[in-house]
């Protein structure tokens, strides 16, 4: 019996993943725990191992598809087994062998009856043991995932927990393991397709089993309008049908994530007015941000009460009320038309990756949300540098981690956060939310973007623990091995732009946090020092720390006090006692 491969949930806040690429093709043999595909979310990129052994008999989600958590994305089975699509394919746009759907479009009259597309939704029960592979839910706020690539091809044997495909969501990119062993009978969703959570993307079963035709391209409601449009224009206008369709569409749009609802609430936007581009009309973060950005074009100034009062008032009184409406004529905030670029001999146009789009949206949202202010402090790292040079070889041999400046800086930041808990808080409407745990996000540069894995409860760790955690998270981030839970829940972030020698910068706050620490390059510089014999100029290791903070709740004095505490810790603490 085919085994379903589903989109795994890589974290509680992930609801979908995008398939980056399949590492197996239909017909390939897959071992349990063998990488099957690579997925992407807006948090991590990861290879997903197959959860079972067998042959990849079906791939139901294409590379690039965004699939919801727990949706079937492929099926494993025995070699030669046909895939069997269970009932779980609502909303998936399938491209595979719809041999039976090809004839209907030919005669125009046949396009009128909408029931035929719904019929395939009842899956054939034949074909042996076939398991639907569904798009897994990688977090509670993720509703879809994009298939980056399939790691198995139809016919491949897939082992349980073996990576089956790679998906991408607006949270993480990750490899999804197979939840069962078998042969991949069919791939229903191709690479590049965005698929809703729990939708069937492939089938897994016994080799030789026949994969049932991927029957449910679109469930009832969405399919009807598309097919009714061609010829029977006069038959479509029943008002009742239109009203019903509208209510269904509205319900789908209102099915949005908590993040989207919060953004809408903060900007006074009715989600029902926003056109959703997600699965089943779901309103995504990009949709709401785009709507808010273009909102000035349709201000609610249009209903000026004055004109209606003017006719009622006597002629002398009428002119004054008419004047105010003219004041409210600032449709000037109209966004300037973006330049139009055309691909050519000397111009290359490349679409943003899901992660890059997510980063872009997050940065714009942060700049709009927080009142950014940045303060800078010069810090003498000489004592830390000397200690590090003296013990780093023994430290690495003993602890299996390199001793960089980051553990010392992180420790100093933790001490400052304990003293000034407002910097470890968040803003929720008119409330300030204080967090007991100190979870430090450490920015890691990747070839394909930027990611901020989180050291959970960093305040409970010593220098050795911080060094190990930092190196481990950075290493797994570059290897696409992070779990969604490891890139969420941060309360304070640190970014190191001194890696290439940069002196300082003004980092953007990582929402919903209220501050971010920037670490500049540490260089030898001539430095004036006060001694008992007077001022002297010495060669010291100097670096600049910058703190961007949200001025809505953090005043300049607090920001400066925070860096002053860090400076004192780094310059005066005997860290050798902590190693």
Catalytic residue set: 551, 555
Listed residue (248, 257, 212, 222) closest to 41, CA to CA: 257
SS3 category, 457: coil
Round to whole Å and give the CA distance between 288 and 294.
10
Instruction: Please give the structure tokens belonging to residue 495.
Output: 């970014």
Cβ contact 159:32 at 8 Å: yes
Cβ contact 58:134 at 8 Å: no
Report helix, strand and coil shares of the chain as percent, to nearest 5. Answer: 30, 30, 40
Q: What one-character-per-residue DSSP string does 169-187 give? A: -SS-EEEEE-SS-EEEEEE
The 10 Å CB-count burial string (b at 16+, else e) for 223-249 is bbeebbeeeeeeeeeeeeeeeeeeeeb
Establish how many alpha carbons lie within 13 A of residue 537's alpha carbon, considering only the half-sphere containing its beta carbon: 2
Establish how many alpha carbons lie within 13 A of residue 336's alpha carbon, considering only the half-sphere containing its beta carbon: 1
CB-based contacts of 357, cutoff 8 Å, min separation 6: 170, 286
Cβ contact 163:58 at 8 Å: no
Cβ contact 34:40 at 8 Å: no
Round to whole Å and give the CA distance between 560 and 569.
14
User: Three-class SS string for 361-390?
Assistant: HHHHHHHHHCCEEEEEEEEECHHHHHHHHH
Cβ contact 36:162 at 8 Å: yes
Q: What one-character-per-residue DSSP string does 486-509 give? A: GGS--SEEEEETTTTT-----PPP
Listed residue (204, 213, 104, 216) closest to 161, CA to CA: 204
- Measured at the CA of 430, the angle between CA 427 and CA 433, to 5 degrees, comes to 40
Radius of gyration of the chain (CA): 29
């Amino acid at each position: 019996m085919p085994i379903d491969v589903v989109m795994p949930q890589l974290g509680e806040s992930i609801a979908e993943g995008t398939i980056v690429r399949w590492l197996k093709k239909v017909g390939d043999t897959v071992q349990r725990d063998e990488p099957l595909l690579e997925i992407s979310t807006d948090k991590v990129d990861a290879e997903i191992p197959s959860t079972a052994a067998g042959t990849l008999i079906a791939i139901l989600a294409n590379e690039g598809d965004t699939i919801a958590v727990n949706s079937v994305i492929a099926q494993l089975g025995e070699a030669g087994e046909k895939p069997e699509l269970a009932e779980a394919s609502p909303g998936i746009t399938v491209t595979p062998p719809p041999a039976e759907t090809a004839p209907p479009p030919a005669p125009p009259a046949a396009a009128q009856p909408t029931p035929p597309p719904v019929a395939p939704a009842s899956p054939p029960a034949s074909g042996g043991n076939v398991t639907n592979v569904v798009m897994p839910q990688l977090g509670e706020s993720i509703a879809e995932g994009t298939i980056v690539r399939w790691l198995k091809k139809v016919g491949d044997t897939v082992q349980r927990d073996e990576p089956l495909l790679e998906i991408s969501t607006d949270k993480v990119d990750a490899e999804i393991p197979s939840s069962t062993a078998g042969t991949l009978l069919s791939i229903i969703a191709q690479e590049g397709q965005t698929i809703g959570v729990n939708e069937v993307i492939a089938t897994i079963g016994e080799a030789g089993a026949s994969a049932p035709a991927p029957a449910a391209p679109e469930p009832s409601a969405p399919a009807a309008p598309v097919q009714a449009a061609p010829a029977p224009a006069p038959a479509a206008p029943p008002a009742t049908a239109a009203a019903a369709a509208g209510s269904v569409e509205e319900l789908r749009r209102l099915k949005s994530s908590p993040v989207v609802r919060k953004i809408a609430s903060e900007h006074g936007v009715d989600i029902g007015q926003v056109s959703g581009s997600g699965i089943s009309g779901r309103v995504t973060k990009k949709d709401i941000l785009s709507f808010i950005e273009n909102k000035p074009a349709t201000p609610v100034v249009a209903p000026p009460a004055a004109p209606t009062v003017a006719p009622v008032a006597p002629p002398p009184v009428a002119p004054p009320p008419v004047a105010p409406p003219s004041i409210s004529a600032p449709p000037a905030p109209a966004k300037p038309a973006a330049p139009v670029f055309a691909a050519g001999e000397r111009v290359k146009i490349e679409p943003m990756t899901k992660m890059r789009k997510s980063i872009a949206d997050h940065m714009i949202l942060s700049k709009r949300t927080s009142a950014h202010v940045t303060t800078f402090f010069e810090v003498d790292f000489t004592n830390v540098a000397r200690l590090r040079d003296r013990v780093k070889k023994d430290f690495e041999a003993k602890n299996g981690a390199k001793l960089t400046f980051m553990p010392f800086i992180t420790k100093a930041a933790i001490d400052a956060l304990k003293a000034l808990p407002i910097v470890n808080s968040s803003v929720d409407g008119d409330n300030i939310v204080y967090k007991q745990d100190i979870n430090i996000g450490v920015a890691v540069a990747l070839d394909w973007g930027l990611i901020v894995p989180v050291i959970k409860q960093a305040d409970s760790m010593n220098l050795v623990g911080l060094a190990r955690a930092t190196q481990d998270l950075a290493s797994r981030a570059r290897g696409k091995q992070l779990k969604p839970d490891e890139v969420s829940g941060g309360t304070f972030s640190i970014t190191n732009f001194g890696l290439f020698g940069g002196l300082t910068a003004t980092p953007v706050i990582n929402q919903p946090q209220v501050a971010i620490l920037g670490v500049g390059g540490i260089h030898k510089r001539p430095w004036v020092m006060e001694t008992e014999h007077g001022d002297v100029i010495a060669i010291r290791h100097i670096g600049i720390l910058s703190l961007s903070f949200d001025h809505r709740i953090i005043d300049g004095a607090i920001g400066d006090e925070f860096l002053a505490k860090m400076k004192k810790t780094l310059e005066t603490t005997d860290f050798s006692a902590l190693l």
